[in-house]
Structure 1
């Protein structure tokens, strides 16, 4: 067992890198207009830059969790950091959409390698009596990362080209990698030669077809049926193999399953705000990227205060009651956004951003603790990977559904097929983005 200083240093490094990985899932949102103009593509097409990253993580999380169990979690985490940094450099080269997408694919693989092993690394590092506090602090980094991306992106775009939203990862990522090499524990490999490659392949196919089902209009039902079929095959495979990627027995713990389901739904809804808020501020209200970035930073700034307070309350009071209060605040924020008429801005937007920050902190912090403590110690590695997988699936669905609904309604009100928000009448963007977020 490491010393207290080493334990908290390890947690800080994992949290900082986790923050960076989560930020990269949303930082592209504010740069969508700039990327679309520079690459001469539609704003709808740029959504691929977000979703390709998220779907890659979804497709490979459980595989890298199993590889971490076999070859050492620290080793897989370190290699994942290196792969993520290379993907960030490649994505920032830009020039063509295919280059950016390739970089995002590599980024997603690196992010998956780290995310799949982060929860288990924390469990290996901390004694049981400190796990709740440790997971609460890691939850702070997750919440901040999910909320801070567009705001940080806006601040970067004030002075630098959009490429730097990817290259900004490099200095911090290199520092994290150096720290990992020095302080992370040296795990012993437990390789048994039993990697569930077939299950990993079927899961990747299921994740890909689910994404296509949420983006296709004509044949979405066919892709959805294919997703269901692949999911059934995956379930059959996992029941037979000796070391499955996903041991479905974990879902017998009802508190774990229920908390995971609620978190999944909350992440779907939260990404409606993440994707559409930058479009609303820039295209409907005509704010500059700099002003947009400042307004989008309201939520993460409030989270800096709300998340530690939520963690403090989580250790002392009923965590399920705290989750209920947080979800109630989030629902209230969504209702006030739906009732907005784009007047009294930016005051109205700031007010709702504060509500979202408080609701997210009060909900997600106890939820992460409950998820990880609802299962036996021997299943916490799987619980951590499953928790990350569910979160990323929620983000993917939130991205694709918000984009799909937005452009379909934009086409309906414009009486023509619309795949870009650039040049579309201001009142259409205003009405739809406010209604959806």
Structure 2
């Protein structure tokens, strides 16, 4: 039996490392103009530094979730911590775009190993009656990571070269690794053996096709069509393989759980939209408002600071009130924020931007915390590792699609307005930038509207059939 003090120390380390892993998915966003100039690459190409990291995580999350279930979640988490630190060093040491991408690949492997097992370790560590508060605290770190990446990157870039946005992980990660070895409980291994390597290969091939699609958006339509066909084929084969496998990476029976399925769908849509802001906001601050990298970073820190207070409150509400209602309110707040983003014009700044960022943080916490609790409590204990890794996979896949979709829409609209192919935001007129940004956020609003309607539909269906809510 773990003491309460030890539980919260474990949670703090899990949260802190989760923070670093999430930050590294977005911290590059504000550095894109600087990295592009340093490595002599277009801003559209530099965005691949974000994509390769996220897609690597998508390709391997389920595999490492299965590793954790069989060989011990804590042990896999510790190994992942070490690999993540190695990748952080390599990414910062790169002098070419190819070397940086290689470092980001290694980083993604380590991040995947930790993310696939973090939710399950929290659920194993805390009793059910404390899970809301535990996930509320972890949501602080996750929200901070998701929102603070560009802001923290701006603060770092104000005093150091861009390499330090990766090297900042090293001292913090080493401290986390030491505490993991000394404090975390011993890994529990299960007698059942067998890794679904065939499924892992198919998932990796599908992820590779997705990555190639993000790198070849401006190539011939026939080539893109071929990649789409391959992506669909590998995905179809993966589903069929998992349905027949004795120990599948993804047991599709988990989606028969209606509570789990509903929560996963809405969180998927929300994470797609969240990266629209992550990609566009740093460009807006630096290229439209002409703010310095350091001041842009300070403004981008508003949302994570607010989330420090909003996430614990959301966790408390989740433990005491209807979690579905809380989710609905949170999604409604996020929609209000998205509507506000449509009216970014460069006027009334920075107060308008600060207000939107604060409201967004409240909405993210109010929606995300109860959603995580519902997902993890809706499945039996033996499937918690799979549920946690599936939740992380859906989040990362959403972020990949968010990065890709926002990039496609933004640069396509820019190209249409300027009557020529454009793959960089540097040097374009402010008016065309704002129009392209508005169209991108409008698509995000549509996706959030779909998520909100689905939540309302699910609640009405549950009420009609008299289903018991998780509290």
TM-score tier, shorter chain, comes to over 0.9
Question: Distance in 2 between the 1:286 and 1:428 partners?
Answer: 16
- Post-superposition Cα deviations, 1:75-106, rounded to whole Å, max 9, x if no partner, equal 11101000000000000012111111011000
Correspondence list, 1:16-415, <5 A: 16-190=16-190, 192-214=192-214, 216-217=217-218, 218=221, 219-415=223-419
Question: Distance in 2 between the 1:171 and 1:375 partners?
Answer: 37
Q: State the shift of 1:263 in Å.
A: 0.4
Return structure 1 stretches of 4+ with deviation > 6 angstroms: none
Question: Distance in 2 between the 1:9 and 1:378 partners?
Answer: 25
Question: Distance in 1 between the 2:129 and 2:318 partners?
Answer: 14
Q: 1:267 to 1:235 in 2, by over 3 A?
A: same
Question: Distance in 1 between the 2:53 and 2:187 partners?
Answer: 28
- Post-superposition Cα deviations, 1:286-334, rounded to whole Å, max 9, x if no partner, equal 1110110011011111111111111111111111111111111111111
Question: Distance in 2 between the 1:392 and 1:33 partners?
Answer: 24
Question: Distance in 1 between the 2:138 and 2:109 partners?
Answer: 21
Structure 1, unmatched stretches of 5+, are: none
Root mean square deviation of aligned Cα? 1.4
Query: Would you say how many aligned residue pairs link Structure 1 and Structure 2?
Result: 437
Tell me the equivalent position of 1:428. Answer: 432
Question: Distance in 1 between the 2:196 and 2:104 partners?
Answer: 25
- Post-superposition Cα deviations, 1:229-285, rounded to whole Å, max 9, x if no partner, equal 212111111122211100001001111111110000000001000010000110111
TM-score by length of 2: 0.90
Q: Is the 8 A contact 1:74 1:187 kept in 2?
A: yes
Structure 2, unmatched stretches of 5+, are: 442-471
Question: Distance in 1 between the 2:127 and 2:235 partners?
Answer: 36
Question: Distance in 2 between the 1:352 and 1:25 partners?
Answer: 22
TM-score by length of 1: 0.97
Q: 1:434 to 1:280 in 2, by over 3 A?
A: farther
Question: Distance in 1 between the 2:438 and 2:163 partners?
Answer: 28
SS in 2 for 1:177: helix
Question: Distance in 1 between the 2:281 and 2:398 partners?
Answer: 18
Q: State the shift of 1:434 in Å.
A: 4.6
Q: Is the 8 A contact 1:268 1:398 kept in 2?
A: yes
Question: Distance in 1 between the 2:355 and 2:126 partners?
Answer: 38
- Post-superposition Cα deviations, 1:54-91, rounded to whole Å, max 9, x if no partner, equal 00000000001111112111111101000000000000
SS in 2 for 1:344: coil
- Post-superposition Cα deviations, 1:143-179, rounded to whole Å, max 9, x if no partner, equal 1111110000000010001110000001100000000
Q: Is the 8 A contact 2:52 2:211 kept in 1?
A: no
